[in-house]
């Protein structure tokens, strides 16, 4: 029978429908056939590791891949600190939020310097807001920065942060360049478990440095941070600029406190109310405003000198301060300049109309 005739007969048999086809099996019963099929594959043969995909992935997808891999490994974030390291870490967590953020940026400027804007404008601001909420403070001029948030306020912090990022008016912070800074959406139960993991020193609180180390765990972990941060020191010129800005903060608080007092008084009827309104109108020509302007000028000069001399450079400790070796002040310099710019924008001398 020719090939064409053979194929024709098979087709006719199938078309009739009265002939059942044999059921095939995936099991190889013959030992010799099984050996041939397996070839040289042995139980001890190691499979090749799958490398991180690079082609065709967005930056956000790459960050998600790295984070998932780090979480699966388990040892990327939590790494036991020795006694000296834990003591130093606790010292950092006792500092105010901004100082913790600066310490983190100094340690990881090369890795997360591109996220400094997000840390300053979003994370730090939300930390302060959550802390004010916890302490029942309504006015910024009455607020003194904290250092840690209790776990329940930590939950509030994440809720506030996710809500802020979900609002259309804040879409700039959802940009691709801030992909690594985006918090992971999860239930309250899952977030509580995460807070336990974030709590490096097991004090049932979340310091800003703990939040930062966990958020950027693709690059950082507590043990590595301690190693880097312990070798850093604050240059005297940088310290001088920081203290000058702290003086500006004190002048702002004094000015805002008086402004609030006069605003409240101006709502009263009679002579007291009218007097307060008049004083409020002249507040920007008064001594409190002038002292604030003088403090801003001093701070601007100090920040300019620190930036010119040591911005992005290395500083070797002279042995008289708390530092031990060589460290970068790049995070400090960036923060000082950004903080100064924000204060000048709001409280700088107005141009005459």
CB 100 within 8 A of CB 244: no
pLDDT, tens only, 178-214: 999 999 999 999 999 999 999 999 999 999 999 999 9
H or E element that contains 205? strand 205-207
Quote the pLDDT of residue 74: 47
Residue 141 has pLDDT above 80, yes or no: yes
Mean pLDDT computed over 60-78: 55
Q: What are the angstrom distances between the C-alpha of 280 and each of 56, 248, 288, 343?
A: 60, 21, 12, 21
Residue 173 has pLDDT above 90, yes or no: yes
Q: Which residue has the higher pLDDT, 79 or 131?
A: 131
Quote the pLDDT of residue 337: 97
Burial class (CB in 10 A: 0-12, 13-18, 19+), 239: middle
Closest by CA to 127, choosing from 112, 142, 107, 148, is 148
pLDDT grade, residue 233 (50/70/90)?
A: confident
Can you tell me the distance from the alpha carbon of 45 to that of 204, in angstroms, rounded to the nearest whole number? 46
Mean pLDDT computed over 337-345: 97
β-pairing, 148-150 vs 205-207, is: antiparallel
pLDDT, tens only, 286-333: 999 999 999 999 999 999 999 998 875 444 343 443 332 234 789 999
Closest by CA to 137, choosing from 260, 263, 221, is 260
Quote the pLDDT of residue 311: 72
**Which tokens in the block code for residue 28?**
């190889």
**Which tokens in the block code for residue 79?**
């790494």
Quote the pLDDT of residue 314: 45
Work out the percent of the chain whose per-residue pLDDT is above 70: 72
């Amino acid at each position: 029978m020719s090939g064409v005739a053979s194929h024709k007969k098979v087709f006719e048999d199938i078309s009739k429908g009265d002939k059942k086809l044999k059921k095939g099996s995936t099991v190889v019963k013959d030992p010799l056939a099984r050996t041939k099929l397996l070839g040289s594959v042995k139980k001890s043969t190691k499979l090749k590791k799958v490398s991180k995909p690079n082609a065709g992935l967005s930056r956000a997808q790459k960050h998600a891949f790295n984070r998932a891999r780090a979480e699966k490994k388990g040892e990327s974030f939590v790494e036991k600190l020795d006694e000296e390291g834990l003591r130093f870490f606790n010292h950092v967590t006792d500092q105010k939020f901004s100082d913790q953020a600066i310490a983190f940026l100094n340690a990881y400027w090369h890795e997360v310097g591109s996220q400094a804007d997000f840390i300053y404008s979003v994370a730090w601001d939300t930390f302060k807001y959550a802390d004010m909420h916890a302490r029942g403070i309504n006015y910024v001029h009455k607020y003194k920065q904290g250092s840690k948030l209790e776990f329940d306020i930590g939950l509030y912090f994440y809720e506030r942060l996710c809500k802020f990022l979900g609002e259309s008016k804040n879409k700039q912070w959802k940009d691709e360049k801030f992909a690594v800074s985006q918090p992971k959406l999860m239930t309250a139960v899952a977030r509580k478990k995460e807070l336990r993991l974030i709590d490096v020193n097991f004090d049932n609180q979340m310091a800003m440095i703990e939040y930062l180390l966990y958020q950027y765990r693709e690059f950082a972990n507590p043990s590595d941070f301690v190693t880097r941060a312990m070798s850093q020191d604050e240059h005297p010129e940088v310290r001088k600029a920081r203290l000058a800005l702290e003086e500006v903060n004190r002048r702002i608080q004094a000015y805002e406190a008086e402004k609030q007092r006069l605003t409240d008084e101006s709502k009263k009827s009679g002579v007291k109310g009218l007097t307060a309104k008049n004083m409020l109108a002249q507040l920007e020509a008064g001594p409190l405003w002038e002292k604030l302007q003088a403090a801003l000028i001093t701070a601007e000069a100090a920040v300019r000198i620190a930036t010119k001399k040591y911005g992005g450079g290395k500083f070797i400790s002279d042995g008289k301060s708390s530092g031990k070796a060589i460290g970068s002040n790049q995070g400090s310099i960036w923060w000082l300049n950004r903080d100064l710019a924000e204060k000048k924008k709001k409280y700088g001398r107005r141009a005459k109309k």
